[in-house]
Amino acid sequence: MEVQATTLPARVISNFFVVESRWDDGRTYRFIVDTGSSTSYVSADLARRFAEKEKKGAPPRTVRVRSAGGGEVDLPAVTLRRLTLGASRFERVPALIYDFADLSGHLGLPIDGIIGFPVFRNTLVTLDYPGAQLILAPHPALPGNPAERGVSGTNTGPAAVGNGAPPTPAPRTATLAFNLQRGTPLIPVQMGNESFFVLIDSGSDGSLSLNPAGLHPRFVQSPRRGTLISTLEGDRLQLTGRITQPVLVGPHTIERPILDLTDQLSSLGGELLRHFTLTFDQRRNLVTFTRDTDGPITMEARRHTGLSFARSAVYWRVLSVIPDTPTAALPVQAGDLCVRINGEPVEKWGYERYAALLKTAAKITCTFLTGAKELDVEVPIFELVP
């Protein structure tokens, strides 16, 4: 492994943290940085180019992986000779082969891999969401005990000089210890007067995924069936609502958060993480949350068409229609193909442009392909979660 001070530009698309890097073959590859994954994934094409050759006669290796939906799937295993991020190289990286066609279609750009958290075990890594950059640096030398006394899992700041005063708090910065037993970072958070652990999951595009077992969330907007989310094993409907209790991450407050209910591990996804710059130090099991603004984090109403799509360059296929919404009464059903939005081919509607439209428009016109005919349907945009 050769880690040098490296800064790579990033794009936050659909709340995923996406970076790209030019490799030895002269091609540029795009990766999602996923702190919530203990495994890295690569496309079959990238594996063909950079995976070590298996010993002659050795049986193919597969690994059984548990998906976000709780199911399991077997994926081929490889070892990459190297993984290159700017000036830094990571040698002999284990990875699984995965088909990124659906994810690439959703984001509107090709994705070649997902970089799991263990890749950075010997690296100081910073995900700067507001600044849209990934920063890698070698670990500093481990300090002695006196220098470590200032790290306590709460706010830290520069110490006052010469007057013996305690360290000055930095209200926008919090350093928290994380648990790494699962290979991914778990931190304690507080909801009202209840504490629980969450996974820091930059590989999720959601906000707070909450497993309510043993907790008592108070809903101002009761959970309702929301969008269809994709997992390694297939698709499933999500229950979404808004709670009255604030959620505290160190000193940072999330007011009345929108959350998705889950029967898996609770997690903080990209919709909330994008408010922070996150620095992970796996040598000390510490993560620093930094904000460039003061005050609590607030979450706008979640606006929606009531339709979930699987995107491709030529059409968007309807995956589901959310029941008990204005859209449920329209002549649209799962499997229908949308070829135009507001008269323009769907290929012109990248994720970011389409998301911006949903924030301001009262309705959109979807053109569906029915046999050889086209049907224009006015689809209302409403607050799925006020």
Residue ranges of the alpha helices (H) in 228-283?
270-273
The reported pLDDT for the residue numbered 63 is 87
Of 172-176, 241-245, 324-328, highest mean pLDDT: 241-245
Residue 16 in contact with residue 100, Cβ under 8 Å?
no
The structural domain count of the chain equals 2
Neighbours of 195 (CB within 10 A): 11
Residue 198 lies in a domain: no
Instruction: Report the percent of the chain where pLDDT is more than 70.
Output: 88
CA atoms within 13 A on the CB side of 212: 12
Return the closest-CA partner of residue 263 out of 214, 300, 311: 214
Residue 75 lies in a domain: yes
Find the CATH number of the domain harbouring 70: 2.40.70.10
pLDDT tens, position by position, 277-324: 999 999 999 999 999 888 999 999 999 999 988 888 899 999 889 988
Amino acid residing at 356:
A
The reported pLDDT for the residue numbered 211 is 95
The reported pLDDT for the residue numbered 57 is 72
Token output for 293: 């603004």
Find the CATH number of the domain harbouring 329: 2.30.42.10
Q: Which helix (H) or strand (E) holds 290?
A: strand 286-290
pLDDT tens, position by position, 148-167: 333 333 333 333 333 444 45
Domain boundary among 110, 138, 166: 138
pLDDT tens, position by position, 212-239: 999 999 999 999 887 766 555 455 668 9
Residue 91 lies in a domain: yes
* DSSP H helix total and E strand total for the chain: 5, 31
pLDDT tens, position by position, 338-361: 999 999 999 999 888 999 999 999
The reported pLDDT for the residue numbered 147 is 36
The reported pLDDT for the residue numbered 32 is 97
Q: Which residue has 């099991």 as its token pair?
A: 285
Return the closest-CA partner of residue 152 out of 128, 169, 172: 169
- 307 beta partners: 321
Residue 61 lies in a domain: yes
- Domain range for 34 is 6-138
Residue 98 lies in a domain: yes
Which letter does DSSP use for residue 141 in this model? P
Domain boundary among 138, 164, 181: 138
Kindly state the average pLDDT of the residues 68-88: 87
Token output for 204: 């999720």
Residue 126 lies in a domain: yes
Neighbours of 198 (CB within 10 A): 23
- Look at 22-36, 60-74, 121-135, 259-273 and tell me which has the smallest mean pLDDT: 60-74
Contacts of 248 (CB under 8 A, 6+ apart): 189, 190, 191, 254
Using the predicted structure, report yes or no on whether residue 68 has a pLDDT greater than 80.
no
Residue 309 in contact with residue 148, Cβ under 8 Å?
no
- 250 CA to centre of own chain: 20
- 113 beta partners: 31, 42
- 189 beta partners: 196
Tell me whether strands 208-210 and 258-261 are parallel, antiparallel or unpaired: parallel
Kindly state the average pLDDT of the residues 187-199: 96
Domain boundary among 123, 138, 153: 138
DSSP line for 351-380:
HHHHHHHHHH-SEEEEEEEETTEEEEEEEE
Q: Is 171 helix (H, G, I), strand (E, B) or coil?
A: coil
Contacts of 297 (CB under 8 A, 6+ apart): 252, 253, 254, 255, 272, 275
Using the predicted structure, report yes or no on whether residue 1 has a pLDDT greater than 80.
no
7: buried, middle or exposed (CB in 10 Å: 19+, 13-18, 0-12)?
Answer: middle
The reported pLDDT for the residue numbered 163 is 41
Report the C-alpha gap between 67 and 101 in whole angstroms. Answer: 17
- Look at 75-84, 167-176, 178-187, 237-246 and tell me which has the smallest mean pLDDT: 167-176
Residue 315 lies in a domain: yes
Instruction: Report the percent of the chain where pLDDT is more than 90.
Output: 70
Confidence of residue 26 (pLDDT cuts 50, 70, 90): very high
Residue 195 lies in a domain: no
